[in-house]
Amino acid sequence: MKISKALMLFIILAFNFNTAQSFEDCVDSGTEPSNAARLYKVNKTSTGYSTLSPIEQKEAKGEFVFEVLVEDVRFTTYKCWDQHGNITGFDAQLITEILKDSNIKYVKFIPIKWETQVYKGEEQLSFFAQLNRGNGHVAIAGMSITNERRGWADMVGPIYRAGKRLMARKDNLKATLDLLNIPESGYEKLRGLSVLVQGTNIRGQFFRELKKQNPDLVEYATFDSNGMVNNLDANKLMVIEVDDYEVVNQFIDSQMNDLIMGVNVDLVMVDTGSTLSLLEEGKLDVETRLITGNLSTDPDLGSIFGLGDGIAVKKDNNNWKTFLERRVKSLVNDGTVDQLVHKWFKDDNSADKEWAKRQCSSLL
């Protein structure tokens, strides 16, 4: 039986459509699926977004593979997995758009733990320490550009605005709607509440700086021999600091219902780019609400959150830096970044094309 050229073309297109990842929605899972794919082929398109196809290592044998360091846990819609175990989210799609007009055909995503590591005697965020050890070509993980991080690696961007908000359960009577106008009205209304924060990133730095400026307001929780909080003070903002971001993720996954170190925590700090998408997809359910404005607007503390989010590349690697700068500037100018921010974050504060164009004006 002969197959017409038209039918053959249809079969080929249908096959490509089914095997190419079109960046599906995230699956609500805090940990990486056991079948998660790491290696992908970039399917370039002349118009519209490009896609990825998961492939086996042997299919890229002898070919250059672009290696991208990402966070090892589901990082809301920045980086997550779809129902098939394929990587998806803003970070993955942005990297694909960066690569589509290059000669790079294959990309590998390498999940690593967000933690502090020592490189040449200096404590650095793990992504930067790994880049400096020669692992991966770039790192992307919703990383704000700060002076400290610029000392560890070159940061390309900022690509979009970055900020933080606090969230609380609706049935938490202590966290009232009066908190909506923080930070503009000051932090005194946080007195008597507790907040869960990861200490190994700029969220932790924010609260340490807040304690310096408000020593009578902020108190850090201490723990007994069993790891339980033993010094809750109803007249302070109690900061429960953990090093492991997975603990924070699990707390959010539980609709903020889990006890943390024996305490029912009132608040958690999240990225502005995460909040609305979390609520919409049901990860935080209807029982959770935003209770602050954008903490980045604080004139005294906002600088902690940096200039905006960017992509890290090893210092003095000018070829990759120039490549990223050229592609990022192009994607900002043509509105692609803005579209992806709206798609994944659903956040008008983060998505601001004119702001991003001004920030990227110095590139090239």
The contacts of residue 8 (CB under 8 Å, 6+ apart) are none
Question: For 116-142, what is each residue's pLDDT tens digit?
Answer: 899 999 999 999 999 999 999 999 998
Question: For 155-187, what is each residue's pLDDT tens digit?
Answer: 998 888 777 888 887 777 677 666 767 887 888
Amino acid 14: pLDDT = 41
- Residue identified by tokens 């900061």 is 239
Question: For 211-237, what is each residue's pLDDT tens digit?
Answer: 999 999 999 999 898 889 988 888 999
The pTM of this model reads: 0.79
Amino acid 56: pLDDT = 92
Amino acid 263: pLDDT = 87
Q: Which has more confidence, 17 or 165?
A: 165
Residue 112 above 80 pLDDT? yes
Give the count of beta carbons closer than 10 Å to the beta carbon of residue 156: 26
Q: Identify whether the C-beta of residue 229 lies closer than 8 Å to the C-beta of residue 236.
A: no
3-state secondary structure 164-223: EEEEEECCCCCCCHHHHHCCCCCCHHHCCCEEEEECCCHHHHHHHHHHHHCCCCEEECCE
Q: Identify whether the C-beta of residue 317 lies closer than 8 Å to the C-beta of residue 153.
A: no
Name the residue among 263, 262, 291 with its Cα closest to residue 275: 291
Q: Domains of the chain, with CATH numbers?
A: 20-161+306-356 (3.40.190.10), 164-303 (3.40.190.10)
The contacts of residue 143 (CB under 8 Å, 6+ apart) are 125, 127, 149, 155, 309, 310, 311, 312
Highest mean pLDDT among 19-33, 86-100, 274-288: 86-100
Q: What confidence category does residue 13 fall into, taking pLDDT thresholds of 50, 70 and 90? A: very low
Question: For 250-300, what is each residue's pLDDT tens digit?
Answer: 787 777 778 888 888 988 888 777 776 666 655 554 456 767 777 776 777
Amino acid 360: pLDDT = 66
Highest mean pLDDT among 25-34, 63-72, 179-188, 342-351: 63-72
Residue 16 above 50 pLDDT? no
What distances in angstroms separate CA 29 from CA 70, 164, 254, one per listed residue? Answer: 16, 22, 11
The rounded distance, in Å, linking the Cα atoms of 346 and 156 is 23
What's the whole-number mean pLDDT along residues 302-329? 87
The rounded distance, in Å, linking the Cα atoms of 114 and 271 is 15
Return the ∠ at Cα 68 (arms to 66 and 71), rounded to 5°: 165
Mean pLDDT of the chain: 82
Give the count of beta carbons closer than 10 Å to the beta carbon of residue 107: 23
Residue 312 above 90 pLDDT? yes
Residue 31 above 80 pLDDT? no
Q: Identify whether the C-beta of residue 187 lies closer than 8 Å to the C-beta of residue 338.
A: no
Lowest-pLDDT range, 74-83, 230-239, 299-308?
299-308
Residue 173 is encoded by which pair of tokens? 């009577």
Residue 301 is encoded by which pair of tokens? 């503390």
The rounded distance, in Å, linking the Cα atoms of 168 and 180 is 11
Question: For 98-108, what is each residue's pLDDT tens digit?
Answer: 999 899 999 99
Name the residue among 29, 87, 36 with its Cα closest to residue 253: 29
The rounded distance, in Å, linking the Cα atoms of 257 and 280 is 19
